[in-house]
């Protein structure tokens, strides 16, 4: 198993009450949700998708979020 990769996640709350997360290290990597639990699940998913786009087949990467 690969060592976890760590990414900084910036979280803001918009005017409508949604939490919006961005991963500055990965271009175009962002998501949103009504609550933080759902947001963090979506952040992990979108990071996986961004890494797959960048590397074509980066399945199974363990993630550590800061």
Kindly write down the DSSP assignment for every residue of 3-57, as one continuous string: PPEEE--EEEE-TTS-EEEE-TTSTT-EEEESSHHHHHHHHHHHHHHHHHHHHS-
Arithmetic mean of pLDDT, 2-28: 95
Higher pLDDT, 53 or 66: 53
What letter does residue 64 receive in the DSSP assignment? Answer: E
- Computed over every residue of the chain, the mean pLDDT equals 86
Arithmetic mean of pLDDT, 15-40: 97
Distance of CA 57 to the CA centre of its chain: 17
């Amino acid at each position: 198993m690969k060592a976890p990769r760590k990414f900084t996640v910036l979280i803001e709350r918009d005017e409508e009450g949604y939490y919006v997360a961005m991963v500055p290290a990965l271009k175009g990597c962002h998501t949103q949700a009504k609550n933080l639990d759902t947001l963090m699940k979506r952040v992990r998913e979108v990071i996986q998708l961004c890494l797959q786009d960048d590397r074509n087949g980066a399945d199974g990467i363990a993630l550590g979020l800061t």
